[in-house]
Amino acid sequence: MMIYLKYMTILMKGVIVVVTSFDKLVKFKLPNGKNVDFLDNIGIVLKKYIQYEGMNESGGVLIGYTHRIHGSVVIEELTEPQSNDKKSFLSFFRISNHHIEAVNKAKRRNSGYMGNWHTHPCDYPEPSNTDLTSWHDSLVKEKTSCNYIFFVIVGRKGYRVWVGDVKNKKISEITLYKNSL
């Protein structure tokens, strides 16, 4: 049984949060109680890459910043797949320099790498074992301006967001900020 709320899908086995409104700013709550805003252009761009039948997987990096005073996070931009990235139906590898260049450009305005996104050819995405392995790998090798690395998977009905905690290496799905429904 599924009950549709504005942004949320609740499944019997537990609560998962699927953002089905691709054209709105979405406010999530981080495990540390701070909020993270996904600006409206994030969903708008992700929607372009929904992986329908016959399409290859897409992906890119997430760019944003942490507010110095109150510690909330803004995901403001993302990179899009390039022709020289390596893509197939079930995989995506960021080969193009474009992704690194976009992060370097963002650093000049005190933004930077916050995580990554990719698509799955299904309605409600779940991380594969390969995803979990690569996310754990990111937690060892990568850095953002906050204690978390963000991982987005885009399905056909919406996208879901997980965060990896850089300190304790735990990965968890984030929920919506209470006032954002």
What residues make contact with Zn ion under the rule CB under 5 A? Answer: 128, 131
Nearer to Zn ion, 43 or 125 (CB): 125
Measured distance CA(93)–CA(87) in Å, rounded: 6
Amino acid at 95: I
Q: What angle do CA 169, 16, 127 make, to 5 degrees?
A: 50
Under 8 Å between Cβ of 127 and 164: no
Nearer to Zn ion, 112 or 125 (CB): 125
Nearer to Zn ion, 40 or 131 (CB): 131
Q: How far is the CB of 166 from Zn ion (least distance, A)?
A: 21
Q: How far is the CB of 6 from Zn ion (least distance, A)?
A: 26
**Residue 93: helix, strand or coil by DSSP?**
strand
In the bound state, the residue with its beta carbon closest to Zn ion is 131
Task: Tell me whether strands 171-173 and 175-176 are parallel, antiparallel or unpaired.
Answer: unpaired
Q: How far is the CB of 78 from Zn ion (least distance, A)?
A: 16
Catalytic residue among 53, 57, 101, 126: 57
Q: Minimal CA–CA distance to 115: which of 160, 82, 71?
A: 160
Q: Is 57 a catalytic residue?
A: yes
Indicate which residues carry an active-site annotation. Answer: 57
